[in-house]
């Protein structure tokens, strides 16, 4: 663990740093790949909507001594779907199965009657409508749309529009991946899943904002110097908050992982799976996208701004000059403009002292 | 979540932390309140605790057909009635083509819920054409002068002059029509349910739909009025059945134990024109619980018109009857036009009755009438063993979090864990208290959401700690490091929590049902996060920074400048191991 503490120190000093920005194309590629897989999964397999969304069949058995878990098994065998079984006041059982039509429900009724060893006619079957109706869903979409608009406005004011865009892209990325995984795994979508997704939505933005906050702080006076480019500062900012990101992610993921793997896996609490899976995937994606997608995206957008472009030119020119002074032999390797992408990759070891010099040179009072 | 213990914080209760004392008092106070209220556990949703299941059957009714559209509307309205804030975890769904199932979690007032879902709540304001007491009740004095003078309130008040009653104190000051306590709230002509019988309401009874009403000729109506004996329950419940809003009709209403019959004109204002209704306790006139209504623009205009007209009439024709599901709930008289777009219904309401009536009026009338078919208890939709497995798994996860924090942050983890405990205690206590107050119920998604909230809460500490460590790496000693780290950490925490809160607020306002319940939980945990970090973690950190253990950077404090690498650029020579011996003095960076 002290190793990690050490890592924190070295990250802080810039001794080691991973070039997130320089390698962004790799990560963009990976994300696009995952997202496409997720979308394909959604398109091909679709979501397996639970009874709360699409309705289904409800069977009421006569008073019976069959236990709830036993009945769950019977119902699953008969229908192939997960069933919700509740014991009613008078020892009757209510069995709900998603997505049934009348024919299917007749067949299941017959099988259940056999399993329960009761007369077929004594089981009451009926179709039920969704408890999570269109109304709830529509309002939820409406709420989401309003929230997205407000949050973009807020981020555009508190930070700037580029960060708002990047945060939104990261958010959509996280949500798409999470829903895609749902389609691929084939878990039934319950209200719990939706709540899980909404939690992710909150978390993803939260995490992105924390990273952006540090980015904003570090790039405050960026145009007033000629030592580092925006991308480099952005990279340093990610590395600076890396320990926080790792710690937060671990702390947030551990309990959910407990629910998913220990609760759902070993202890057989199957119904916990649906919500903990969405939380687990979403939290992981949220932490990943803040670092690997959102911040590089901001850097990309920023580098198009004339001021930042000019800064980059100045910085590169200065470096080229320094380099040519030092080693006359190696004048310049390739046009400075073309080497843009390569430059940050080298940043770590070579230019870091300069960067540090900047931090040190600034009077501490500036930091507020 | 963790038990509501504030044990750890006691150690920190020393000098400067006024805010520390404040939050401790808050916790103690809330915990005390929780024990005093007797609700020491949060209410659990139907998926965790089971509850009551009510099956309602739609009845063929004049005017509206039992079709899918009407059933869906009914489900929607019932859902809002039982789950107005979205936090009570009630579920409403259709079953078959004409049934609706309502599941309400254990611990809810099921009587009230049954009354709420089953009552049609069709409300009309009808001018009173004639009225007289019926039955053999103790000699009421029908003269009943309009009592309580029309008060000099600026915007006209209609003081009630219900017959027979002792003069009610005139309403004053309120820009609305107030009436004497007259009839009971929950009553019904058509949408009668057995539930109401059990209700505190004195009037409820089942009905059979009758052929009464729909009489078109005036004479027939007069005959009906003459024949009506409101002291008979059967007559009461069928009176005016089937009458269209645009037709005159008859109705019954009770006041002080005496039943009156009414001949009522066509409906002047419709309950659908009520924009919002709420229950208020009338302290001015000691009229008890009342329901005040705000009309929408059209309703306000109509109401002003009808009251203006009525005000010119003689008693009793200056009264209007507030007719709810066929029963005249109250019949205030009007002394001048009421233009404020507001009206009040008073009656001998209990608080619950007033609130559920307000609720029903706010969310509108059901398009169909329903009859209760069965009421039965149901067990939790999630098996008990599954819940336990889940809790156990969650606990293991939490233990891992603590181990991780201790391993990484050493001494600092004490502060983090104490803060987490305080946060957990506050969440638990507040959720428990919200059960009885706003019907908050905790379902499985909410529990999982709370687990994720651990991450977000912990993140605030982590951001803060990392800032402190950065400052130490810059070569500061702990106390200035804490003070310098705080403003920056604070900004990060506020900015990011604001995003979460924005999500919660928007979703809470816009959405309904479970999404709204989720938004509530998210908002609550976000606010608590800020509260805990500001009033607990920061002061505790300040205090801890004074202790030599932390200030001198003990190896186990998690703030050891050496292992944090506060030493300047001796880069390549560093050994991977943490605790290295050597001079401590932090260098100016």
Of the residues A108, A128, A148, the one at which a domain ends: A128
- Report residue B346 as tokens: 């008073």
In the three-class reduction of DSSP (H, G, I as helix; E, B as strand; rest coil), residue A91 is classed as: coil
Cα B518 to chain centroid, rounded: 14
Kindly report the nearest CA distance between residue A337 and chain B, in angstroms: 32
Is the CB of residue B99 less than 8 Å away from at least one CB of chain A? yes
Please indicate whether, in this complex, the C-beta atoms of A251 and B76 are within 8 angstroms of each other.
no
Residues A232, A102, single domain; the answer is no
Span(s) in chain B for CATH 1.20.1640.10: 8-44+383-564
- Report residue B115 as tokens: 């009354």
Residues A100, A207, single domain; the answer is no
Among all chains, which residue has been given the structure tokens 């309502």?
A: B102
Residues 6+ apart with CB under 8 A from A68: A85, A86, A87, A93, B379, B383
Cα-based distances in Å from A9 to A241, B27, B472, B474, B559:
12, 37, 10, 10, 12
Burial of A80 (0-12, 13-18, 19+ CB in 10 A): exposed
> What is the CB neighbour count within 10 angstroms for residue B204?
24
Please indicate whether, in this complex, the C-beta atoms of A199 and B94 are within 8 angstroms of each other.
no
B110-121: average pLDDT:
74
Q: Is there a domain that residue A65 lies in?
A: yes
DSSP designation for B439: -
Residue B511 scores a pLDDT above 90: no
**CATH number of the CATH domain containing A84:** 3.30.70.3400
Whether residue B56 contacts residue B583, with contact meaning beta carbons closer than 8 Å, is answered with no
* B540/B418 Cα distance (integer angstroms): 9
Residues A43, A87, single domain; the answer is no
Q: Which residues of chain A have pLDDT under 70?
A: 1-9, 12-15, 133, 263-272, 327-368
Crossing angle between the packed helical segments B513-532 and A134-158, to the nearest 10 degrees: 30
Query: pLDDT at position B435, please?
Result: 79
Domain residues for the domain of A187 are: 2-48+133-307
Whether residue B68 contacts residue B466, with contact meaning beta carbons closer than 8 Å, is answered with no
DSSP string for B184-224: -S---SSS--HHHHHSS-SS-------S-----SHHHHHHH
* A41/A164 Cα distance (integer angstroms): 28
Q: For the segment B420-437, what is each residue's pLDDT rounded down to a tens digit? A: 888 888 888 888 888 777
User: Sign of dihedral through CA atoms B26, B27, B30, B36?
Assistant: negative
Q: ipTM, 2 decimals? A: 0.75
Is the CB of residue A22 less than 8 Å away from at least one CB of chain B? no
Residue B175 scores a pLDDT above 70: no
Angle CA A347–A27–B404, to nearest 5: 85
B304-308: average pLDDT:
83
- Report residue B66 as tokens: 């039992």
Span(s) in chain B for CATH 3.30.1360.200: 120-361
Nearest to B408 among A4, A10, A261 (CB): A4
Q: Which of A26-40, A246-260, B52-66, B192-206 has the lowest mean pLDDT?
A: B192-206
Residues A103, A245, single domain; the answer is no
Residue B363 scores a pLDDT above 70: yes
Q: How many domains does chain A have?
A: 2
B218-225: average pLDDT:
77
Kindly report the nearest CA distance between residue A182 and chain B, in angstroms: 17
Cα-based distances in Å from A344 to A8, A163, A228, A322, A349:
21, 21, 10, 17, 10
For residue A5, the chain B residues in CB contact (below 8 A) are 408, 563-564, 578
Residues A111, A77, single domain; the answer is yes
Q: Which residues pair with B262 in a beta bridge?
A: B131, B251
* B271/B398 Cα distance (integer angstroms): 52
Instruction: Name residues 462-501 of chain B within 8 A of A (Cβ).
Output: 462-463, 466, 469-470, 473-474, 484, 487-488, 491-492, 495-500
Cα-based distances in Å from B432 to B391, B436, B438:
18, 8, 11
Please indicate whether, in this complex, the C-beta atoms of B376 and A89 are within 8 angstroms of each other.
yes
Q: Is there a domain that residue A38 lies in?
A: yes
* pLDDT band (50, 70, 90) for residue B584: very low
* B419/B412 Cα distance (integer angstroms): 11
Please indicate whether, in this complex, the C-beta atoms of B446 and A15 are within 8 angstroms of each other.
no
Q: Which residues pair with A57 in a beta bridge?
A: A97, A127
Q: Is there a domain that residue A350 lies in?
A: no
Which site among A251, A350, A356 would you substitute to test the B interface, given the most B Cβ atoms closer than 10 Å to its Cβ? A251
Backbone angles phi, psi at B5, to 5 degrees: -115, 135
> What is the CB neighbour count within 10 angstroms for residue A26?
10
pTM score of the predicted model:
0.68
Residues A158, A265, single domain; the answer is yes
Is the CB of residue B374 less than 8 Å away from at least one CB of chain A? no
Whether residue B97 contacts residue B65, with contact meaning beta carbons closer than 8 Å, is answered with no
DSSP designation for B95: E
Residues A153, A199, single domain; the answer is yes
Among all chains, which residue has been given the structure tokens 């089953």?
A: B118
Q: Is there a domain that residue A150 lies in?
A: yes
Q: For the segment B250-298, what is each residue's pLDDT rounded down to a tens digit? A: 888 877 677 888 888 888 887 778 888 888 887 776 667 888 888 888 8
Q: Is there a domain that residue A250 lies in?
A: yes
Rg (CA), chain A: 28
Write down the mean pLDDT value for chain B: 71
Residues A152, A277, single domain; the answer is yes
Residue B556 scores a pLDDT above 80: no
Chain A to chain B Cβ contacts (< 8 Å): 314
B562-578: average pLDDT:
50
Q: How many CA atoms lie within 13 A of B123 on its CB side?
A: 30
DSSP string for A136-186: HHHHHHHHHHHHHHHHHHHHHHHS-HHHHHHHHHHHHHHHHHHHHHHHHHT
Among all chains, which residue has been given the structure tokens 């944090």?
A: B564
* pLDDT band (50, 70, 90) for residue B203: very low
Whether residue B561 contacts residue B579, with contact meaning beta carbons closer than 8 Å, is answered with no
Residues A11, A96, single domain; the answer is no
Residues A121, A137, single domain; the answer is no
Of the residues A274, A290, A307, the one at which a domain ends: A307
Q: For the segment B385-404, what is each residue's pLDDT rounded down to a tens digit? A: 666 777 777 778 778 888 88
Query: pLDDT at position B9, please?
Result: 38
Nearest to A205 among B499, B565, B576 (CB): B499
In the three-class reduction of DSSP (H, G, I as helix; E, B as strand; rest coil), residue B163 is classed as: coil
Of the residues A105, A128, A151, the one at which a domain ends: A128
* pLDDT band (50, 70, 90) for residue B85: low
* A277/A48 Cα distance (integer angstroms): 14
Q: Is there a domain that residue A237 lies in?
A: yes
Query: pLDDT at position A8, please?
Result: 66
Query: pLDDT at position B385, please?
Result: 67
Q: Which of B460, B454, B465 is nearest to B413 (CA)?
A: B465
Residues A164, A33, single domain; the answer is yes
Kindly report the nearest CA distance between residue A193 and chain B, in angstroms: 8
Whether residue A316 contacts residue A336, with contact meaning beta carbons closer than 8 Å, is answered with yes
Q: How many CA atoms lie within 13 A of B585 on its CB side?
A: 2
Q: Which of A33-42, A301-310, B185-194, B469-478 has the lowest mean pLDDT?
A: B185-194
Residue B195 scores a pLDDT above 50: no
- Report residue B527 as tokens: 């606010």
Query: pLDDT at position A39, please?
Result: 92
User: Sign of dihedral through CA atoms B364, B370, B372, B377?
Assistant: negative
Prior bond to B316 cis, omega within 30?
yes
**CATH number of the CATH domain containing A230:** 1.20.1640.10
CATH class of B120-361: alpha beta
* B309/B83 Cα distance (integer angstroms): 39
Which numeric CATH code is attached to B8-44+383-564? 1.20.1640.10
């Amino acid at each position: 663990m002290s190793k990690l503490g050490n890592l924190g120190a070295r990250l802080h000093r810039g001794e080691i740093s991973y070039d997130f920005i320089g390698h962004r194309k790799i990560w963009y590629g990976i994300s696009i790949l995952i997202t496409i897989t997720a979308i394909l999964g959604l398109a091909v397999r679709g979501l397996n909507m639970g009874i709360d969304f699409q309705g289904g069949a409800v069977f009421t058995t006569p008073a019976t001594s069959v236990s709830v878990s036993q009945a769950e098994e019977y119902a699953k065998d008969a229908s192939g779907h997960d069933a919700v079984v509740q014991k009613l006041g008078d020892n009757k059982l209510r069995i709900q199965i998603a997505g049934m039509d009348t024919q299917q429900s007749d067949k299941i009724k017959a099988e259940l009657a056999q399993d329960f060893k009761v007369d077929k006619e004594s089981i009451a079957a009926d179709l039920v409508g969704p408890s999570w109706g269109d109304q709830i869903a529509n309002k939820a979409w409406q709420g989401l749309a309003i929230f997205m608009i407000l949050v973009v406005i807020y981020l555009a004011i508190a930070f700037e529009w580029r960060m708002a865009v990047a945060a939104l892209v990261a958010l959509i990325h996280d949500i798409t991946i999470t829903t895609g995984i749902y389609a691929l795994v084939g878990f039934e979508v319950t209200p719990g899943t939706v709540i899980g997704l909404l939690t992710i939505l909150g978390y993803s933005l939260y995490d992105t904002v924390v990273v952006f906050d540090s980015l904003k702080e570090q790039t405050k006076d960026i145009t007033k110097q000629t030592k580092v480019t925006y991308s480099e500062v952005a990279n340093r900012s990610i590395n600076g908050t890396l320990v926080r990101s790792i710690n937060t992610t671990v702390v947030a993921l551990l309990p959910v992982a407990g629910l998913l793997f220990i609760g759902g896996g070993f202890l057989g609490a199957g119904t916990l799976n649906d919500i903990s899976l969405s939380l687990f995937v979403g939290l992981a994606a949220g932490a990943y996208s803040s670092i690997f997608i959102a911040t590089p995206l901001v850097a990309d957008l920023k580098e198009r701004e004339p001021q930042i472009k000019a800064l980059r030119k100045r910085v590169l020119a200065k470096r080229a000059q320094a380099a040519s002074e030092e080693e006359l032999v190696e004048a310049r390797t390739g046009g400075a403009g073309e080497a843009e992408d390569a430059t940050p990759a080298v940043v770590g070891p070579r230019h870091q002292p300069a960067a540090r010099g900047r931090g040190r040179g600034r009077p501490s009072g500036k930091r507020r | 979540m963790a038990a509501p213990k504030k044990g750890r914080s006691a150690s920190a209760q020393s000098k400067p932390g006024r805010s520390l004392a404040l939050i401790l008092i808050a916790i103690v106070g809330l915990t005390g309140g929780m024990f005093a209220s007797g609700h020491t556990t949060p209410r659990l949703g139907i998926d965790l605790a089971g509850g009551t299941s009510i099956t309602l059957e739609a009845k063929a009714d004049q005017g509206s057909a039992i079709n899918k559209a009407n059933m869906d509307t009914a489900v929607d309205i019932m859902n809002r009635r039982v789950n107005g804030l979205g936090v009570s975890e009630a579920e409403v769904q259709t079953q078959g083509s004409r049934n609706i199932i309502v599941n309400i979690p254990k611990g809810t007032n099921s009587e009230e819920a049954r009354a709420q879902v089953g009552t049609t709540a069709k409300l009309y304001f009808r001018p009173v054409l004639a009225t007289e007491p019926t039955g053999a009740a103790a000699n009421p004095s029908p003269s009943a002068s309009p009592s309580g003078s029309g008060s000099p309130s600026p915007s006209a008040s209609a003081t009630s002059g219900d017959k027979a009653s002792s003069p009610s104190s005139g309403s004053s000051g309120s820009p609305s029509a107030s009436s004497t306590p007259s009839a009971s709230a929950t009553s019904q002509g058509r949408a009668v349910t057995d539930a109401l019988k059990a209700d505190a309401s004195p009037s409820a009874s089942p009905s059979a739909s009758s052929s009464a009403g729909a009489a078109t000729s005036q004479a027939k109506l007069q005959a009906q009025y003459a024949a009506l004996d409101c002291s008979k329950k059967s007559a009461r419940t069928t009176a005016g059945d089937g009458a269209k809003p645009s037709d005159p009709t008859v109705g019954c209403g009770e006041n002080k134990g005496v039943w009156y019959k009414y001949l009522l004109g066509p409906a002047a204002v419709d309950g659908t024109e009520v924009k919002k209704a709420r229950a208020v306790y009338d302290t001015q006139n000691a009229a008890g619980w009342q329901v005040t209504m705000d009309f929408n623009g059209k309703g306000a205009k109509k109401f002003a018109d009808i009251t203006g007209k009525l005000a010119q009439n003689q008693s009793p024709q200056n009264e209007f009857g507030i007719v709810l599901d066929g029963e005249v709930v109250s019949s205030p008289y009007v002394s001048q036009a009421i233009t404020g777009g507001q009206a009040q219904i008073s009656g001998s309401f209990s608080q619950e009755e007033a609130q559920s009536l307000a609720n029903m009026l706010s969310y509108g009338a059901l398009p169909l009438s329903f009859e209760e078919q069965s009421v039965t208890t149901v067990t939790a939709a999630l098996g008990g063993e599954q819940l336990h497995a889940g809790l156990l798994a969650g606990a293991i996860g939490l233990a891992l979090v603590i181990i991780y924090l201790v391993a990484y942050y050493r001494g600092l983890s004490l502060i983090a864990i104490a803060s987490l405990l305080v946060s957990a205690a506050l969440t638990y206590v507040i959720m428990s208290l919200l059960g009885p107050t706003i019907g908050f119920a905790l379902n499985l998604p909410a529990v999982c959401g709370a687990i994720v909230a651990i991450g977000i809460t912990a993140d605030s500490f982590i951001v803060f700690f990392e800032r402190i460590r950065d400052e130490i790496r810059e070569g500061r000693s702990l106390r200035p490091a804490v003070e310098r780290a705080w403003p920056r950490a604070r900004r990060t925490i506020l900015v990011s929590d604001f995003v979460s809160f924005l999500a919660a607020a928007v979703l809470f306002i816009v959405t309904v049902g479970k999404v709204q319940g989720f938004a509530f939980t998210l908002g609550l945990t976000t606010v608590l996060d800020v509260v805990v970090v500001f009033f607990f973690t920061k002061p505790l950190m300040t205090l801890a920074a004074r202790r030599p253990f932390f200030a001198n950077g003990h190896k186990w404090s998690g703030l050891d400048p050496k292992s944090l690498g506060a030493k300047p650029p001796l880069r390549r020579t560093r050994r991977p191991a943490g605790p290295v011996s050597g001079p401590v003095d932090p260098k100016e960076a």
